[in-house]
């Protein structure tokens, strides 16, 4: 199973690269597969590549759902 997750671009780097925020973790990724992205944009990231630009509202909704899933999983482990 593959998982691509939304991440916010927090810094653009040379050579079509960027730093993104992945749930509080900063990671360098490639922007080779997307065009016209800038700091503050959200992208879908998979294996170190931004696959597509994502609407900010949709990105935040998805991140919220992932957070809810994590919290439910952690609660189940405590039962």
- The two three-digit tokens of residue 71, written as one number: 């919290």
- The two three-digit tokens of residue 22, written as one number: 């992945």
Question: What CATH number is given to the structural domain containing 53?
Answer: 2.30.30.140
Residues 4 and 33: their CA atoms lie apart, in Å, by 14
Task: Kindly report the pTM of this predicted structure.
Answer: 0.82
Could you give the C-alpha distances from 41 to 1, 6, 17, 19, 36, in angstroms and in order? 26, 10, 14, 12, 10
In which band, very low, low, confident or very high, does the pLDDT at 37 lie, cut at 50, 70 and 90?
very high
pLDDT tops 80 at residue 41: yes
Q: 71 is in which domain, residue-wise?
A: 5-78
Number of domains in the chain: 1
In which band, very low, low, confident or very high, does the pLDDT at 62 lie, cut at 50, 70 and 90?
confident
């Amino acid at each position: 199973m593959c998982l691509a997750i939304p991440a916010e671009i927090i810094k653009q780097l040379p050579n079509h690269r960027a730093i993104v925020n992945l749930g509080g973790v900063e990671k360098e990724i490639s922007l080779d597969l997307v065009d016209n992205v800038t700091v503050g944009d959200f992208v879908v990231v998979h294996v170190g590549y931004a696959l597509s630009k994502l609407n900010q509202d949709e990105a935040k909704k998805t991140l919220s759902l992932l957070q809810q899933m994590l919290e439910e999983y952690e609660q189940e482990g405590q039962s």
